[in-house]
Amino acid sequence: MIYYAETPLLKIAYLKQGEDHKSAVLLLHGWPDDATTWSGVIPKLTDGGYLVIAPWLRGFGNTRFKAENTPRTGNFGIIAYDMIALMDSLNIEQFSVIGHDWGSKIAESLAVGWPGRVLKMALLSSPPRLGGTPMPTFKHAQLEWYHWFMATNVGEKAVRKDPLEFTHIMWENWAPKGWYSEKVFQETSESWKNPDFIDVTLHSYRSRWGEAEPDDYSKELEEKIKATKTLSLPVLYVQGEADGVNPPYASAHVHEKFTGPFNRILMPGVGHFPSREAPSELSRHLVDFLNI
């Protein structure tokens, strides 16, 4: 069942499972994906004794901006504000957060901006940007070609013309062949028909490399993330060994960003989408982490 929360800027669609008095876990999806990426994980977390909230981010699914004049921005800091507004609307003060891809960056933004509210953090498939995001090596930049493509005018036109073919390439290249069915892709891609999906996507990638300014409301938080070198909360980092966009070498030094309890798990044969590719195995790791 899909629920809806009213926040100052958005009407946020989200999945919810578990009893309200249980410890809350916020699940944040990535790009190109949606909240259904957690469908195989949510029941295991609920069985583990947690209240689970899994929203569709701004620009995805049935989440909608409430005003036409609200900037369709997508930098991670502003989406972190969205998530705090969501949790405020649900009267949830403290929670753990699990983020995949974009969700990983949003999760660390929450931990930096609201350290008293985030109890634990699990990051999937995307290294943190604490201390700033350095220019990747040429080897890694080749895998991130889509970042640079969207920074150009011709790239923007191409993405606007055929966003589903563009995102389909990511699903093809970021994990081992045969990991998904076309039916699942088509079902998930319905979330990318949101009228703001392309604008939010373009701004997200352009703003991270200085090709666009972050949302004005989140600039202070963005600067704080750049200035924060380490965090001390308990952290789990999960990396697919067959990730086609962030191979294991990209997260080899993630532990240096965290001074508290930390564990990095490599999942053999798994690509960029562990929540879809190996939900049972991932769930075991997450429940073990949350139960510590």
Domains and CATH numbers, the chain: 2-291 (3.40.50.1820)
pLDDT digits (tens, 9 = 90+) for 98-107: 999 999 999 9
Specify the pLDDT at position 102.
Answer: 98
| Alpha carbons 19 and 22: distance in angstroms, whole number | 6
Nearest CA among 155, 239, 243, 247 for reference residue 205: 155
pLDDT digits (tens, 9 = 90+) for 54-84: 999 999 999 999 999 999 999 999 999 999 9
Contact by Cβ (8 Å): 211, 234: no
Specify the pLDDT at position 248.
Answer: 97
| Alpha carbons 124 and 189: distance in angstroms, whole number | 21
Specify the pLDDT at position 88.
Answer: 98
Specify the pLDDT at position 61.
Answer: 98
pTM exceeds 0.95? yes
| Alpha carbons 34 and 91: distance in angstroms, whole number | 24
| Alpha carbons 193 and 216: distance in angstroms, whole number | 26
Q: Between the CA of residue 64 and those of 11, 105, 260, what are the distances in Å? A: 5, 21, 37
Concatenate the DSSP letters of all residues of 172-235 into one string: HHSS-TTSS-HHHHHHHHGGGGSTTHHHHHHHHHHHHTTSSPPPGGGHHHHHHHHH---B-S-E
Mean pLDDT estimate for the chain: 97
Across residues 169-180, what is the average pLDDT?
Answer: 98
pLDDT > 70: percent of the chain: 100
Contact by Cβ (8 Å): 94, 24: yes
Task: Dig out the tokens for 151 from the structure.
Answer: 């920074």
